[in-house]
Amino acid sequence: MMAAAIGMIIVALALMIFCVAVMWKVFCKAGEPGWASLIPFYNLYVMTRITWGRGWLFIFGFLPLGNLIFAIFTMIKLAKVFGKKGGFACGLIFLSIVFLPILAFGKAEYTGPDPEKSTGAIIASAITGGIGIILLVLEVIAVVALGLFAVSDLTVQQTQDAVISQEVPEETQEEPDVKEEEDVQREYEGTPIEGYEDFETVSLDGYQWVTDVTLFKDGENTVTESTATSAKDGIELKAGFTLLAADETIEQRISAEVENIRKTLESQAGIYTDITAGEMVAEDGFVMQQLICNQIGADGVAYPCTEIIQVQLMEDREILVSSVSLNTSQATENTERLFTQACELYGIAFQ
């Protein structure tokens, strides 16, 4: 494999040296210095002067698409200035690697620039070059437009994400440990609660603990491995396992939860008013705090709302965060009874 690679490199170098020698010889036969063939751009100017008699025409070699037309006519003129006919010109165009060495090392003599003006060739090159430039400009415009559209689409998506994030309380502490797999909604079989026909319990698996939490029997329920949410008649029940951050206490966590909810409500100016956080109730390994406010409905009426949050320390840093929320703007004739029973099942007693 190495020998083959070295062989290819040697062949490539030999071919390059051969091509340099060919062009050097062509320039010398035309009365131009051979070294001119080695200088980029200047060699194009000299070649154009050899064939067309006007070196400045080499600028047509830089026109997109037009440079192809110009190169073809340059090869035709190169054959003519060395006394060759149309067949040889075709050879220069399609098989220059063979016909250029014949021209360089053969007996052909340079007769001077082609006296024929070939105005049509110049016009064709210019028109084709103009079309190429227009196509290039359109391509650039299309690329820029696509880029702007992509940026605009990304901005819209970021704005939507920002609005959604305002509607959901954010965690102030980054969870130090995360389960290997995200919770996904699962099917579950609830267990009836004696004396509470509208409620049932479901088992949640934490990091080390397993516990039963209360849901509505026929509510809008979402249950994953470690979280559960249930809503009915303006009442929402939530419960889920999570972890405290390093050196974080359950008092700090519930304060952060309440503060996040308060900021979210305040950010929706004109919808929620009279936002008040109650006193924290703390016992050994358990804290609870209430937040109350009014929601201004479409009818202009202020509907009382409340959310009662509980944080229970299970073991080490594992905690169970649960809440009971009430939005009276969605209340029905059953809401008061269901809310009272939900508070009883969650161990919430009103003085």
**Residues near 213 by beta carbon (within 8 Å), at least 6 away in sequence:** 201, 202, 204, 228, 237, 239, 320, 322
Is 49:113 a contact under the CB 8 Å cutoff? Answer: yes
Host domain of residue 339 = 191-345
Check: pTM over 0.75? Answer yes or no: no
Would residue 228 count as lying in a domain?
Answer: yes
- Residue 180: predicted pLDDT: 46
Name the DSSP class of 270. T
329 and 197 share a domain? yes
State the CATH number of the domain containing residue 271. Answer: 3.40.1000
72 and 198 share a domain? no
Domain boundary among 117, 136, 155: 136
335 and 272 share a domain? yes
Would residue 120 count as lying in a domain?
Answer: yes
100 and 212 share a domain? no
Would residue 158 count as lying in a domain?
Answer: no
How would you classify residue 41: left for phi > 0, otherwise alpha for psi between -120 and 50, otherwise beta? left
Domain boundary among 116, 136, 156: 136
- Residue 181: predicted pLDDT: 47
324 and 208 share a domain? yes
Would residue 322 count as lying in a domain?
Answer: yes
25 and 130 share a domain? yes
Of 110, 248, 124, 231, nearest to 177 (Cα)? 248
Would residue 335 count as lying in a domain?
Answer: yes
b/e code 247-282 from CB counts within 10 Å (16+ = b): ebebebbbbbbbeebbebbeeeeeebeebeeeeeee
- pLDDT tens track, the chain, 351 positions: 788 888 889 888 888 888 888 888 888 888 888 888 888 888 888 888 888 787 787 777 777 877 788 888 878 888 888 888 888 888 888 887 888 888 888 888 888 776 776 666 667 766 876 787 788 788 888 888 888 877 776 666 766 666 565 555 555 545 545 454 456 888 888 899 988 999 999 888 888 878 888 989 888 899 898 898 999 998 999 998 888 888 889 898 999 999 999 888 888 877 888 888 888 888 888 999 998 999 888 888 889 999 999 998 887 788 899 999 999 888 899 998 999 988 988 888 764
If one counts every other C-beta atom within 10 angstroms of the C-beta of residue 74, the result is: 24
Domain boundary among 102, 136, 170: 136
196 and 290 share a domain? yes
221 and 308 share a domain? yes
Would residue 166 count as lying in a domain?
Answer: no
Matching residue, tokens 């060495």: 101
Rounded to whole angstroms, how far apart are CA atoms 71 and 61?
A: 7
Domain count for the chain, please give it: 2
85 and 199 share a domain? no
- Residue 85: predicted pLDDT: 84
Would residue 51 count as lying in a domain?
Answer: yes
- Residue 177: predicted pLDDT: 52
Would residue 49 count as lying in a domain?
Answer: yes
251 and 323 share a domain? yes
Of 204, 205, 240, 233, nearest to 217 (Cα)? 233
128 and 198 share a domain? no
207 and 340 share a domain? yes
Residue 193: φ, ψ to 5°: -110, 120
